[in-house]
Structure 1
Amino acid sequence: MMERPHVNFEVWPEAMELGEMFAAEGFELALVGGPVRDLLLHRRSHDLDFCTSARPEQFEPILRKFGRDGFWDMGRKFGTLGAMRRRADGTEVQVEVTTYRTDAYNPDSRKPEVAYGDTLEGDLSRRDFTVNAMALRVPELEFVDPFGGANDLAKGVLRTPVDPRQSFDDDPLRMMRAVRFVAQLGFSIEPETAEAMYDMTDRIRIVSAERVRDELVKTLLSDRPRAGIEALVESGLADIVFPEIPALELQIDEHHRHKDVFEHTMIVLDRAVALETDDDGPVPRPDLTLRLAALMHDIGKPKTRRFEAGGKVSFHHHDVVGAKLTRKRLRALHFDHHLVEDVSELVNLHLRFHGYVDEPWTDSAVRRYVKDAGHLYERLNRLTRADATTQNRRKAMVFASAMDEMEDRVRELKKKEDFDAIRPDINGNEIMDLLGLEPGPMIGKAYRHMLDYRLDNGPVDHDVAVAELKRWYSEQDQ
C-alpha cells in the first residue's frame, strides 16, 4: 500500500469554531473540496465549503448565529446555506454548508435531482475529482481521503473518484472543469480520465453556454492559460465549444512555416500574459480582454488562406474576417456586450501598426491610430508586441524599436493635446448652419470629414476650418 503523505493542517479558527457549534448539537461537520486541497498545497482561502449530517432546517440556527455579518439561503433547494463573518483585520471569511448528498442525474440535463445522503464518504464519491474529494472533520481534525486524493495531489494528477464515464455522463461540465484545473493547478489528466473525455465530448452540448463560458473565463484568467487551452483542444472539447481554435492547427503561418497557426497563437497568448502589468499599470493582470484577443487574433486565417504562386500562402484581410468570427463566437458564449466589442476591435486592429515599421507615420497617422484604438490603446500595443514572434533577432529588434518610438511620440503628442477629447474644429450644429442643411446623412459625412481633417492637421483656426468645410462641400454631389 502506498504510504499516505504527511498532512500538517493549520486550520482556520472559524472552521474549528463552526465545527464545535455543530458538534454541540450532535451533528457532523467536515471541511471539503477546494479548501482541503488548498491546505495541502499550502494555499489559503477565505471561502470555506463544508458538508454536514444535519438538514438545512436543523443547521440554519447555527449558521445564523455564526454568520453575524451575513447569511444567505439561495441554495436551500440544494441543501446549501451560507454565512459571512468579518475578521478584526477587516478581511471576510465566507462559509457554505451543505447537507450530505447523493445526486441522481437526468441524462438530458446536468442539473442533479438532489437527494440527501447519510455519510461523508458517500458525499465525497459524487465529487468531480479525487483532489476535490478529500475532507477534514472538524473540530476533531480527522482527515478523510477514501479515493486517494492526497496521492493524486502529490503526483499532480486529475482523476475522477468513480468511473470517469459515469462521472462525465452525470455532469458533463466536469470535463470543462478538468481543463480549468490543468490551467489553475498545473496538473495533468490521468489517461483513463482523458480517454473518457475524448470519447464523451458530445455530452457537453447539454451544458448551457453560460456554464461553458464561466469555465473558459476561469481557465483564461489562471496562471497557465496556455496549458488549459491546449488541454481543451487535445480533449476534443474545443471542437464543440470553441471550434475556431482547433481549426488553427492545420493552418501554416506565412511568417513561420515551421509551425502552425495554433502554435503561434499559444506563443502569442504566453507573450500577452507576460506583458500585463501590476495593479498600478495600464493593463493589470489578469486581463480577460487582452487574453481573449491574443487567443482569437488569427482565427480569420482558415477562411482567408490562399495559395499563391511560388508556394507562398496568404491570409489577406484575416483581421477583418477574424473580427467578425470573434464577435459571433463570443456572442454564442453569452459574453458581455462590451467585452465582445472590445475583443473584436482588438482583432480587427491587430495588424494596424505593421505599416509603421516600414515607414514611420506622420503625426496625423499617429493621432488616428490612438483615436481609433481609444480605450484599447494599451491593450492593442501589447497584443501587437505579443504577435511579433519572429525568430530573426534583427527583425525582432527593428519591430520593438519602432513600437518604442511610436509610443514615445504618442506621449509627446499627448503633452500638447488630449487625444480622448479630439473633436472637429466645427461641431454638428455649426456644420448645419454653415451649409444651410437639415439633419441627415450629409451632416454625418461632413462631420466625419472634419474629424479626419482635425486628425491630419491638428487644431486649426476657426476660419481655416470653415474654409475647409466649404471646399469639401463644394466637391460633393448635391
Structure 2
Amino acid sequence: MPDVVVALGEQFAAHGHELSLVGGPVRDLFLGRSSPDLDFTTDADPDQIIAAVSGFADAHWDIGRDFGTIGIRKGDDILEVTTYRAEAYDPDSRKPQVSFGSRLEDDLVRRDFTVNAMALQLPSFELVDPHGGVRDLVAKHLRTPGTPEASFSDDPLRMMRAARFASQLGLDVAVEVREAMTAMADRLEIVSAERVREELVKLITGAHPRQGVDLMVETGLADVVLPEIPALRLAGDEHHRHKDVYQHSLQVLEQAVDLETDAEGPVPGPDFVLRFAALMHDVGKPRTRRFEPGGAVSFRHHDVVGAKMTRKRMQELRFDKDSIKAVGRLVELHMRFYGYGDAGWSDSAVRRYVTDAGDQLERLHRLTRSDVTTRNRKKAARLDRAYDDLEQRIAELAEQEELARIRPHLDGEQIMEILGISPGPDVGKAYRFLLEHRMDHGPIAQDEAERLLRDWWAEQE
C-alpha cells in the first residue's frame, strides 16, 4: 500500500471519522494483484470529507458529491472517498437513487459480490469481512452479500459484472446467482449502452473470456447484449456439419488470445479488437445458411454480412468509430486468405491483401490463423504452411517496394498538372486507375507512369 493510505486514515481519525479501504483494492491484495484505483469509504458526509482533507490534499473536487464521492490528489496519488451509502434503482430508471448511511456493515451489504464486500479499516488495517469474501476468493466462488435478486434489482449491470469476474478472475458463479441472472436477464435492458459496453470490454479482455461469454449465453444476458452470439448455436459448419459454430467461435477467441504478443510486439495483449473480431467473425452464418443439393451446407458471403452485423451491434453499444472500423474490417476480411490461397497468391493478390488490411494486417494474420480449428491434423498443417508462405511473400514484397505505403505512381497534384484538369471526379478516377495498375504490376518509373496516364485519359474522351 502507498504511504498515503495510512496517512489518509490518520487524517480522518484525527477528525473523528472512520475510513476504510474497500472493494476491488482489498480483493486484489488477497489475489496478489496491484489495483489501479484506491477506493475509500467513510461515515463522513461530503462536507465533512472536504473538511478532513483540507490542508492534507493538494487538491480536491466534488463532481461526485451527489453520490457522496469526493476526489482528492495527494502528490501523484489520485484517491476517491465516498460516504457510506445504500443505493437502489427505480425499476424503470437507469439512474441510482442514493441515500447515505452511518455504518460500514450497511455499506458492505449493498455491494455487488462478497469478494468486493470486504474492507480494511484505517489506519489499523483491520479486515472487515462479514460476508466471507476471503473464503469465496479461496474457493473461486462468486456470491452476493444478500440475495442475488435484491442485488440485481438494485443494479442490473451487476449481472454483467458476474460474467466479467468469471472472465477476469476465473470465478465459478454460485447456482443461486446463475439462476437469478437467468430469471432477470431482461432487466439489463434498462442499463445504458455505455455502461454495458464498458463491462463487455473488461469481460472480453479478461484472462478467461470464453468462460465469461459462455455464462452470458447460458443465462440469457447475451440475448440482450450480443444476440448474434447465441444465434450461432443454430448454425452448422460448411465443412463439418457436426461442428457447432458457437463453440468454434469460442475456440477461435481462445486461440486469438494465445497469439497476442507482449508489450514489445505488434499486437500486445489483451487486445480487445482482435478478441472481439475473433468472437464475432462468423455471426453472419445464421443469416446466410443455405442447404445445397446433396445435403451440403453453405454460408456464402457470411463474412460481408457478418461485418455489417458487427458494425451495427458496436454502434448500438456506443463504441468509438475507430474500434468499429477495425473490428468490422477484420470480420470482413477473415475469409480472404482462402481465396488468395486457391489463386496461388500472385503479387497482385498479396498487394491487395495488405492494402485492404491496412493497419489491421498484424491482427488479420492472427485472426486468420486462429480460425483454423479443424481436427484434421494434415489439413491444419497445410493451412499453417500456406499462411507461413503468405507472410513470407508479404515480407519479401514489403522489402522490395515498401508495401505498407502503397500509393499510385502519381499523386493528385501531378495528375491535374499532367492532364490539365481541375479538382473533381476525374482526378479520383485517374487516381484509382493508377492505384489498380500499381497493385497489379508493381512500381514503375515516373515517365512511364505519365505516359500510362495520358493513354488512359485519351481512352476516356
CA contact (8 A) 1:110 1:173 kept: no
Q: Hey, what does 1:109 align to over in structure 2?
A: 93
- Structure 2: runs of 5 or more not aligned: none
TM-score in terms of structure 2 length: 0.95
Cα distance in structure 2, aligned partners of 1:377 and 1:123: 49
Letter in 1 for 2:192: S
Tell me which of 145, 163, 166 is aligned to 1:161: 145
- What is the deviation of 1:248? 0.5
Q: Hey, what does 2:359 align to over in structure 1?
A: 375
> Are residues 1:214 and 2:198 paired?
yes
The number of residues matched between the two structures is 461
**What is the 5 A alignment of 1:385-396?**
385-396=369-380
- What is the deviation of 1:364? 2.2
**Residues 413, 64 of structure 1: alpha-carbon distance in 2 compared, 3 angstrom cutoff:** farther
Tell me which of 250, 255, 272 is aligned to 2:256: 272
Q: Hey, what does 1:26 align to over in structure 2?
A: 16
Q: Hey, what does 1:72 align to over in structure 2?
A: 61
Letter in 2 for 1:253: D
> Are residues 1:308 and 2:298 paired?
no
- Structure 1: runs of 5 or more not aligned: 1-10, 87-91
**Residues 276, 73 of structure 1: alpha-carbon distance in 2 compared, 3 angstrom cutoff:** same
**What is the 5 A alignment of 1:192-231?**
192-231=176-215
CA contact (8 A) 1:101 1:117 kept: yes
Q: Hey, what does 1:144 align to over in structure 2?
A: 128
Q: Hey, what does 1:48 align to over in structure 2?
A: 38
Q: Hey, what does 1:8 align to over in structure 2?
A: none
> Are residues 1:298 and 2:282 paired?
yes
> Are residues 1:131 and 2:115 paired?
yes
**Residues 408, 149 of structure 1: alpha-carbon distance in 2 compared, 3 angstrom cutoff:** same
CA contact (8 A) 1:357 1:398 kept: no
Q: Output the aligned Cα RMSD.
A: 1.8
Tell me which of 154, 163, 170 is aligned to 1:179: 163
| Higher mean C-alpha deviation, range 54-63 or range 283-292 | 54-63
CA contact (8 A) 1:273 1:286 kept: yes
Cα distance in structure 2, aligned partners of 1:43 and 1:420: 40
SS at structure 2 position matched to 1:31: strand
Tell me which of 6, 20, 25 is aligned to 1:35: 25
SS at structure 1 position matched to 2:336: coil
CA contact (8 A) 2:263 2:269 kept: yes
SS at structure 2 position matched to 1:47: coil
Cα distance in structure 2, aligned partners of 1:97 and 1:24: 16
Cα distance in structure 1, aligned partners of 2:37 and 2:198: 18
Cα distance in structure 1, aligned partners of 2:3 and 2:55: 16
Deviations along 1:261-305, one digit per CA (max 9) or x if unpaired, are 110100110111111111111111111111111111111111100
Cα distance in structure 2, aligned partners of 1:259 and 1:420: 37
> Are residues 1:236 and 2:220 paired?
yes
Deviations along 1:56-75, one digit per CA (max 9) or x if unpaired, are 1112133344433x533221
CA contact (8 A) 1:367 1:419 kept: yes
CA contact (8 A) 1:66 1:83 kept: no
- What is the deviation of 1:475? 4.8
| Higher mean C-alpha deviation, range 435-444 or range 417-426 | 435-444
Letter in 2 for 1:363: D
- What is the deviation of 1:316? 0.3
Identity %: 57
Tell me which of 61, 70, 73 is aligned to 1:81: 70
> Are residues 1:61 and 2:51 paired?
yes
